[in-house]
Chain A
Amino acid sequence: MSIMQYNGGSVIAMVGKDCVAIASDLRLGVQSLSISSNFEKIFPVTDRLYIGLPGLASDVTTLREQFRYRVNMYTIKEEREIEPQAFAQLVSSTLYEKRFGPYFIEPVIAGMQKTPSGSYAPFIAATDLIGCLNFAKDFVVAGTASEKLFGVAEGLWEPDLEAEDLFETISQTLLNAVDRDAFSGWGAIVHVITKDKIVILSSSAFISPGLGLAS
């Protein structure tokens, strides 16, 4: 089995009308043995920018620390917050820097991007483990349940969903995909980001029926 599947876990991000959402499961395992049902893979970068890091759990922590450092340096030097577009490039170069000995992570980025007119537009992106960027207009997926996430998202997602509807769509997509994946699940967390910097953080452990094991 590949190192990408060793700890398990999945992340998805979706675009809505003047909002974006990013969600993940909370499992951490060693192959098929579950160790924790509270391992977060999504981290805030700024008030309206989040990054999800599914893959090898060791690199989740390492990259989270690495990105925090680099974003802090950027903020100090530029005297402004980093925009999602720029952050996506930073993620890409950070990963490509380790082209021949990569971090085993496939990041997912979701945020609200400032437009020249001063308003905010939804932004999502994903990369592979060596930093090849994929900008999508609808949704991006990554992790051990990525095939299932693609299938369910393809069926449920539609353009211009309002924040509440987007929350429902991303939650159902994640939960139903993760239920068919042995390496993901055990609780979930959803973040909805709207243009006025308001982050609805609908938290943890709505565990799917029949899997009430997690404590």
Chain B
Amino acid sequence: MEVSFAMTGKGYVLLAADTTAVHSIIKVKTDVDKIKELSPHLLMAYSGEPGDTVQFAEYVERNIRLYQIRHTYPLRPPSAASWIRRSLAESLRSRNPYSVNLLLGGYDTSTYTPHLYWMDYLGTLVEVPFAAHGYGSYFALSLLDRYHDPEATVEEGLAVLRRCLDEVSKRLVVSPGKYKVKIVDKDGIREVEL
């Protein structure tokens, strides 16, 4: 069962997603990267219907890249979020809609602010201080209500993230074993080992 979290901190956004690929009741892979790097300062964690997820993520990735090639500068996080939302909203009322849920984290290099967006397959878009998708949200959101601090340092942010992952491991019946954690800040994107 897929789990993904994200939160903002002082000048950064943290994203975490599990790394398991499931087929029926079988774990077929445990090292899948479900967080795409859309541009130098933009990350997207995706989950949902297998097949749709990768297809849609790559579609978004190529279009964001195309914009950057055409205009020299990449789309800023709010604009990228709006474009992706529109793609999903149009897809929803098409013959076969994408069932993809997203967390979009980015650092706006023009205003020096981190942005985090929660988006679902219906095309619902909202900017949030922290977010989660999947069964993990039932545990993580209440923890984050209590412990999230938008002014937290990276170390403090990772400690709160650790709490969320531990709680999921402890209480969720079929919890994922491994997570990939990525961070985006003024210096760009990097992966973090927990």
Contact = CB atoms under 8 A, between A and B. Distances in A.
Interface of A: 7, 28, 30, 33, 35-36, 38-39, 56-58, 61-62, 65, 101, 213, 215
Given A57-B124, A58-B125, A213-B145, 17 more contacts: A7-B124, A33-B141, A35-B118, A35-B126, A35-B128, A35-B131, A36-B118, A36-B128, A38-B126, A57-B126, A61-B89, A61-B125, A62-B86, A62-B89, A62-B123, A65-B86, A215-B148
Given A35-B126, A61-B89, A30 B145 contact: no
B122 A57 contact: yes
Nearest to B88: A58
Contacts of A39: 126
Nearest to A61: B125
A24 B86 CA distance: 24
B92 A58 contact: yes
B124 A58 contact: yes
Contacts of A58: 88-89, 92, 122-125
Contacts of B128: 35-36, 38
A36 B145 CA distance: 11
Nearest to A98: B93
Contacts of B125: 58, 61
Contacts of B127: 36, 38
B129 interface: yes
A56 B126 contact: no
B138 A61 contact: no
B104 to A, nearest CB: 14
Majority secondary structure, A binding face: mixed
A28 B126 contact: yes
24 contacts: A28-B124, A35-B126, A35-B131, A36-B118, A36-B126, A36-B127, A38-B126, A38-B127, A38-B128, A39-B126, A58-B88, A58-B89, A58-B122, A58-B124, A58-B125, A61-B89, A61-B123, A61-B125, A62-B89, A62-B123, A65-B86, A213-B145, A215-B145, A215-B148
Contacts of A101: 93
B118 A215 contact: no
Contacts of A28: 124, 126
Nearest to B129: A215
Nearest to A57: B124
Which of B120, B126, B128 lies at the interface centre, i.e. has the most chain A CB atoms within 10 A of its CB?
A: B126
Contacts of B88: 58
B47 to A, nearest CB: 14
Nearest to A36: B126
A33 B148 contact: no
A101 B94 CA distance: 11
B85 interface: yes
B89 A33 contact: no
Closest 9 CB pairs of A and B: A58-B123, A57-B124, A58-B122, A36-B126, A58-B124, A62-B89, A36-B128, A39-B126, A58-B89
Contacts of A65: 86
B48 to A, nearest CB: 14
B137 interface: yes
Contacts of B93: 101
